[in-house]
Amino acid sequence: MSVEKRTHTGLHVIKGAIQKVLGAKWTTSVSVNNNHGRISVEFDRKPTGSEIKLIEQYANDKIKEDVPVEIHHLSRKAAEERWGDIIYDKFPLSESITELSICQIKGWNINACNKEHASSTGEIGSLRITKTRFRAKKQLLEVSYDIG
């Protein structure tokens, strides 16, 4: 399995951990390069060191659980009726997109996503937060991580 597929799946795991620890809902950007990933979320303050450690711990706990990563292919209308706007990030999808791929880690994270994913969280290996940056003027929290 490609390292990018594992790293991208890590985005969904870390987003779930960020949501559980901080309550942040909206992702504003993501990037994956080899075994390095970064996610930015709307957030109104700099998290504490213990909150960052807890995010990493929750993410690794979910990886160790080795739960399935489910991919659902369905119409945009059916996806919105089933899950509402939680499947979206802050950046809008073009109205011309009528079919969606939904990546779901049950009870953890659900997102419209057209990338390839691992079949279970255990395939990620491990995740280490390498850097965080809070941008007060933009109300953004950036979390960078590496997978091992």
Domain holding 118, by residue range, is: 3-147
Q: Supply the CATH number for residue 143's domain.
A: 3.30.980.10
Rounded Cα distance between 24 and 19, Å, is 5
Count of domains for the chain:
1
pTM of this prediction? 0.95
- Write the pLDDT tens digit of every residue in 41-85: 999 999 999 999 999 999 999 999 999 999 999 999 999 999 999
Q: What is the mean pLDDT of residues 6-14?
A: 97
| Strand ranges for the chain from DSSP E | 27-33, 36-42, 70-75, 99-105, 109-112, 127-135, 140-147
| Owner of token pair 């390069």 | 33
Written as six digits, the tokens of 86 are 């939680």
Q: In what order do the strands lie in the sheet with 127-135?
A: 27-33, 36-42, 140-147, 127-135
